[in-house]
Each structure stands twice: as structure tokens, then as C-alpha cells.
Amino acid sequence: MIIFKDVYKSFGEREILKGVNLTIVPNKTTVIFGVSGGGKSTIIKHIVGLLKPDKGQIYINDFDITTASDRVMREFRKKIGFLFQSGALFDSMNVFDNVAFPLREHMQVSAKQVEYSVRSSLELVGLKPDEIINLFPHELSGGMRKRVGLARTIVMKPSIILYDEPTSGLDPVSSNLITDMIRSLQHELRVTSVLISHDIGESFKSGDYFAMLFEGQIIDYGNEFFFKSSMNPVIRQFLSGSSRGPIKFR
């Protein structure tokens, strides 16, 4: 379980998080909605320990990561997979070496084990290893790059997976494929997943719970039925895609 308690974070004079309270259900996918620049990425960077709050606590399985040393956090991150918006593949490495990178960097495993893990991870995201392992990122479509990035994310068998705009920049077919992959992996691996996205339609397909971040705070949280039936004017306007009315998204 991941719990945020009164988390504040500022960058210079700009206050981004203003007392975030959020309990993320274990072994389910929680989607965090919000406007661009509103702090969604800031939240998931706190979970992985790339940022520390100015005030407040963040608990993962009852452990307060805000007090953890750098050494402890390095070990902790081995159980957290992070799929970046771009996929963040190394251009100079082929697919095999990209997916194998975390294993070689953090684990002492044999070459045979590395190959087995890489191939298994690629198969889990719907790719055929024999057809793809020797290709380089520039030889892949956008959707394939995301799937290779996802394979690298799960190769360490994380208990938490963080998705930063996983369908951003993809065509509708590729977006739907990535969404299916997220649902499939959630069912297969039973991990706790946190996803941030602007893609409302795809997010409702992949998520189990939904949170709305607005003006630095979580203003509502619940399952799909609860979220879609919310009478909160911010959520109503967000779901309708309207820029008119009393709520102005900045």
C-alpha cells in the first residue's frame, strides 16, 4: 500500500503539492488525472524517491520513505518499475541490451538467466524476442518502443509499476494496445500500479481507481462508477473536456 499524508512540495516560489492525501490500493491500478503542469509527475517521482517532500510523509508498506537514506532508497527502487513517457531507451543499445540493462546493473545473474528474463519480459508485452532483440530503438515504431520500455520496466519483477503518460504520442491503435498490455500485466503480475494520463478513454480501460489532482490537492478518489458519477464541478468539467464554466484549468 502507498500512502501520502499531507505532502507539500514547492519548486522555488511555485507550490506544486499543497497537502496531498492519497491512499493507493495495493495490487490494483490507480490513475491520477489532472491538468498539465499540475503536479501529477511530481507525485510519482516522490513514490520512486526522485523527489522528497518539503513536508509530509509517504509510506510504502508502512515504511516512511521520506526518512530513508540514499543507500536504502537505491535498494528500494529495485522493486519499483518506472515507464517513462518516451520509453527512455538507450539509442546505442539494441533491444536485448536495453531490456537487460537493469539486471546487469543491479543484479548478479548469469548470462543464461539474463537471456531467459529478457525473453520472458518481451513475451509478456506481446513481442516476439527472435524478431526484435537485435533491433535498435530507431528501427522500432512508437508503440513498439513503449512496449520494449515496458519489458525493461518489468524485467526486475517489481512490486510497484509507475506509468508516466504511457499512451502519449501514440495513434489510437497503438494506444489501445498499450492499454491492453497494462491490464494484462496487472492481471499477470498482481502489482500495485500508478498511472498518470490525459487520455481519459484509455485510462478508464486500464484503471481500477481514479484520483483527481487539482490546485495541488487530491479532490476526489474512487472507482470508475464513483468517479464518473461525481458531482464535483472540477471533475464534471474535466470529464466533459469543456474549458467553459467556473473552473479554469491553467
pLDDT of residue 243: 47
Provide the percentage of residues in the chain whose pLDDT is more than 70.
95
Distance CA 211, CA 218 (A): 7
Q: Is the CB of residue 36 less than 8 Å from the CB of residue 88?
A: no
pLDDT of residue 170: 79
At 86, the pLDDT band (50, 70, 90 cuts) reads low
Given a cut of 90, whether residue 19 has pLDDT beyond it is: yes
Which residue has better confidence, 202 or 60? 60
pLDDT of residue 112: 94
Task: Please give the model's pTM, rounded to 2 decimal places.
Answer: 0.87
Distance CA 51, CA 101 (A): 23
- Listed residue (105, 55, 112) closest to 78, CA to CA: 105
Distance of CA 185 to the CA centre of its chain: 13
Given a cut of 90, whether residue 189 has pLDDT beyond it is: no
What is the enclosing helix (H) or strand (E) of 33?
strand 29-33
Q: How many residues would you count in the chain?
A: 250
Q: 2-240, what's its fold?
A: Rossmann fold (3.40.50)
